[in-house]
Amino acid sequence: MPAISASAPGKVILFGEHAVVYGRPAIAVPVNEVRAKAIVTADPLSLPGSVRIQAPDVGIDVMLANLPAHHPLAAAVWQVSAALDLAHIPACKIRITSTIPVASGLGSSAAVSVAIIRALSTFLGVSLMDEQISAMAYEVEKLHHGTPSGVDNTVIVYRMPVYFIREQTIERFSIGTSLTLVIGDSGVASPTAQTVEDVRAAWQKEPERYEKMFNAIGDIVRNARNVIAVGHLETIGTLMDENHAILAQMGVSSPELDALTTAARDAGALGAKLCGGGRGGNIVALGTPQTAPRISEALENAGAVRRIITRIDSYTS
Ligand code: PMV
């Protein structure tokens, strides 16, 4: 049997992180320049149930049976096994690689889960629906950070820009003019679980103040959806700046992220904000095809360890 492979893109949250955990909308888009990949190869010489997991990027080469069931890589495999009601997974090797930086707000954990679920189910001869794959990846996301909103697995499985509200049907939205985004990595790893937990603790301590900020972000996201539909780039940029300012008030920015957003704006970005959990990880800036290289260079000079320029095509829904 030939090896079966599947890959999944990274993602960036354009508007609405953190508030999305509390029921407000978010807008997220796939980032196809970085991907997680899983390759499943049959091992006809071993007994059923003998599954080897290799993830060289994180130094893992282990039999599935020796990984705790709640380990995210194992959990993705067990999700498939349970969905297909298998007594034993046929002997195989699952090799996982990824160019998505970890713990940096680009959805690396969800992309790895989705790649594993797609490759393994195809290897087992079953074609799962996107909805099922997203639900399975969501279960694994819960192991990464207790209360995920589900935005990461959704945008990564559907591979398209989404307007997302927790526990509601996902919506596509119109994009009046294509968007050129410049993403810059602060190089500071910051696990989402920590920032989500910190925001929860702060919200419990000062519920009124945090509800106000979540509402303000919700308003920005709804506004952004309309402005993206008409393609008014300057206003999209302004809304990104406003979203960043509120995230900073919420305590999830950092000197590095503030320096990168400032550098992007100084180099001509129409707006810039941190993306994902914050305190580290990436920022996303809105440029144009003309200004993007300059913004990328400015981010590099300001200390960004990696830059990605990506384009979101216009679309009529
Ligand atoms: O840091 P990431 O890529 O996992 O994004 C997290 C986005 C949050 O809104 C902070 C959490 C969530 O589950 O939506």
Res 105: pLDDT: 87
Write out the two tokens for 299.
Answer: 């981010």
Task: Place 44 in a pLDDT band, splitting at 50, 70 and 90.
Answer: very high
Task: Place 146 in a pLDDT band, splitting at 50, 70 and 90.
Answer: confident
Res 144: pLDDT: 81
Distance 22 CA to ligand 1 centre (A): 12
Distance 272 CA to ligand 1 centre (A): 17
Is the separation of the CB atoms in 210 and 202 below 8 Å?
A: yes
Q: Is the CB of 20 under 6 A from ligand 1?
A: yes
Q: What is the mean pLDDT of residues 94-115?
A: 94
- Indicate the helix (H) or strand (E) that contains 119: helix 108-123
Is the separation of the CB atoms in 189 and 280 below 8 Å?
A: yes
Rounded to whole angstroms, the Cα distance separating 140 from 72 reads 6
Question: Residue 285: beta bridge partners?
Answer: 182, 272
Is the separation of the CB atoms in 225 and 163 below 8 Å?
A: yes
Q: What are phi and psi of 43, to 5 degrees?
A: -125, 80
Q: What is the mean pLDDT of residues 286-308?
A: 98
Q: What are phi and psi of 206, to 5 degrees?
A: -130, 70
Is the separation of the CB atoms in 98 and 39 below 8 Å?
A: no
Write out the two tokens for 32.
Answer: 């196809």
Lowest mean pLDDT among 122-126, 145-149, 197-201: 145-149
Test site for ligand 1: of 13, 106, 138, most ligand atoms within 8 A of the Cβ:
13
